[in-house]
Amino acid sequence: MPSKMQIILTACVVLSGTLPASMEAVAAGTRAAKRSKAADVDPRGQVLAFSCAGCHGTDGKSVGIIPGFYGKSPEYLEAALKDFKSGARFSSIMGRHAKGYSDEEIHQIAEYFGTVWTKNK
């Protein structure tokens, strides 16, 4: 008999499992249109992206030596994260972080940062 906690967790996993599929449906060509609506923030992309601010500054605006990325395009960020993940691009620590995300999650994170700076343009 599963405990209440297990049921809660199972429900959540099922829920999260449905998200990447819907994101895959977002073709590259519709990105710009999607992005222009700042109100349409993908909540999962947002909560994943919040983690980045701890080292890179709020919204990617760094005040110190760690590279910032505010204003970089989602395409650039997605490619950079995938290169860190594969090891194609050298890093001291980013490879270790990027390996923690699926390609879909990397896409969601990159798209979120796109909405952050386009809405401030």
Residues that bind other proteins (CB under 8 A): 2, 4-16, 19, 43-44, 46-48, 50-51, 53-58, 62-66, 92-93, 96-97, 99-101, 105
> Smallest distance, Å, CB 69 to other proteins?
12
Minimum CB distance to other proteins smaller for 32 or for 43 = 43
DSSP codes of every residue in 65-83: SSPP-TT--HHHHHHHHHH
Report angle CA 85, 117, 15 to the nearest 5 degrees. Answer: 55
Minimum CB distance to other proteins smaller for 29 or for 64 = 64
> Smallest distance, Å, CB 70 to other proteins?
12
29 vs 15: CA distance, rounded Å: 26
> Smallest distance, Å, CB 34 to other proteins?
18
Which amino acid, residue 61? K
